[in-house]
Amino acid sequence: MKFPSLFSPLQVGPYKLKHRVVMAPLTRMRAERPSLAPRPLNVEYYGQRATPGGLIIAEASPVVATGHGSPGTPGIYSEQQVTGWRGVVDAVHARGGLIFLQLWHVGRVSHSSFQPGGVLPVSSSAVPISAALKTMTADGKPAPYETPRALETGEIADVVDSFRQAARNAREAGFDGVEIHGANGYLIEQFLQSHTNLRTDRYGGSIANRARLLMEVTEAVIEVWGADRVGVRLSPYGVANDSGETDPMPLYSHVVKSLGPLGLAYLHFVEPRSSGAGRAEVNHQNVPSAMVLFRPIWSGVLISAGGFTGETAEAAIAAGHADAIAFGRIFISNPDLPLRLQHGYPLTPYNRATFYGGEEMGYTDYPAYGELERA
């Protein structure tokens, strides 16, 4: 099947994409230890998935040491990490691709074993993740979530500064832009949503106050990059990491309308049918579509992610609901995914057991279609 809309050009900020098949940010937990810097294996992985005029959004990368919540996730706060990422960027650019880095702070989705000095993770308020869910320690063992420490008002400026400095580091590494992770129950969303934000200062209470951290972070990152090289990711109807707003429309309508005048490169929605954040196959039934709901109030470039096939991606773009589609799991197992979609080649199934941690297996050993043909 041919996908004319999916393979039409698209202007994203200053960049002209040759197609609209975006590689979604995917946590793979394969950074070098203990530096948490990208290594040659990561360089190979991203290079394999780069295409001329195609956009990769690199995996979520903590902006500060306290922002980690999973083993082996690469950071963007040390010189060694910047150097490691530079190798990744160079490999993508060598194949004519573009690459943005997703800036991340997990907040309460962490464990004291990840925290310098073994202190508690931080959040908007001291609200723990449901006891029904489990996390893992820094050495990969299952553990219950701890009750996080609420950030003091005076500490929030330091969080914003961490994102600002990470944005500078991403520029130094040669990235083409950055994406702010405001989705999937991580720190920024912990401030956004009412069940996790019980604050009574200027970062809590009203929707405008709960959105203040996101807006301050976005403005800080824009200071470094310019708005047209900055994206924001949101998951209005997501449930990942015990997230979720009872009535998302008022909150996220305010957020989308507030981001609109800034001139961002794009807004990136996680569709609710895919909000398991990688833990399991999720296919929520009878849930709204974020791209359909918020497209009328967002005039800029809109990227949507969440369980798309070539057919559903083509339909979303043809209908005007989204401008580009980010693919995750099938980009893992099909390093040449744009080529396969363009020509209707069969897709290689992914192996969920190899998503997180490890070495080459399930990471760089998936062949391109031409390699399969020659095998």
Please write the tens of the pLDDT for every residue from 104-141.
999 999 999 999 999 999 999 999 999 999 999 999 89
In the structure, what pLDDT confidence band is assigned to residue 276 with cuts at 50, 70 and 90?
very low
For residue 250, give the 3-state DSSP assignment.
Answer: helix
Question: Given a cut of 70, is residue 286 above it in pLDDT?
Answer: no
With a cut of 60, say whether residue 87 has pLDDT above it.
yes
The confidence score (pLDDT) of residue 140 equals 87
Mean pLDDT value of segment 213-225: 98
Please report the pLDDT score of residue 225 as a whole number: 98
Give SS3 for 228: helix
* pLDDT over threshold 60, residue 221: yes
The proportion of the chain whose per-residue pLDDT surpasses 90, expressed as a percent, equals: 92
CA terminus-to-terminus distance, the chain: 24
pLDDT of residue 374: 60
| Section 350-368 average pLDDT | 97
Do residues 27 and 73 make contact, with C-beta atoms less than 8 angstroms apart? yes
What is the chain's mean pLDDT, rounded?
Answer: 95
pLDDT exceeds 70 at position 333:
yes
**For residues 240 and 230, what is the distance between their CA atoms, to the nearest angstrom?**
24
Q: Is the pLDDT of residue 230 over 80?
A: yes
| Sign of the CA dihedral running 109, 111, 112, 116 | negative
Quote the CA–CA distance of 136 and 245 in Å, as a whole number.
25
CB 178 within 8 A of CB 230: yes
Q: How much is the pLDDT for 272?
A: 80
DSSP 300: S
DSSP annotation of 304 reads E
pLDDT in tens, 144-161: 999 999 999 999 999 999
Q: Which of 26-30, 171-175, 225-229, 369-373 has the lowest mean pLDDT?
A: 369-373
User: What confidence tier does 267 reach under pLDDT thresholds 50, 70, 90?
Assistant: very high
pLDDT for residue 279: 44
**Average pLDDT of 201-217?**
98
pLDDT band at 315 (very low <50, low <70, confident <90, very high): very high
Does the structure show a pLDDT above 90 at 292?
yes
Superfamily, domain 10-374 = Aldolase class I (3.20.20.70)
Residue 2 has what pLDDT? Answer: 77
Mean pLDDT computed over 260-281: 76
Q: Are residues 332 and 347 in contact, defined by beta-carbon separation less than 8 angstroms?
A: no
pLDDT at 275 over 50: no
The DSSP bridge pattern shows strands 177-181 and 149-150 to be: unpaired
Cα distances (angstroms) measured from residue 123 to each of 129, 153, 156, 208: 11, 12, 10, 18
Higher pLDDT, 342 or 273: 342
Report whether pLDDT(273) > 80: no
Residues belonging to the active site:
186
Average pLDDT over residues 90-100: 98
For residue 307 the two structure tokens come to: 């369980």
Buried b (16+ CB within 10 A) or exposed e, 219-248: ebbbebbebbbbbbbbbbbbbbbbbbbeeb
- Model confidence at 1: pLDDT above 90: no
Flag whether pLDDT at 371 surpasses 80: no
Rounded Cα distance, 284 and 286, in Å: 7
Question: Taking Cα atoms as reference points, which of 100, 108, 106 lies closest to residue 232?
Answer: 100
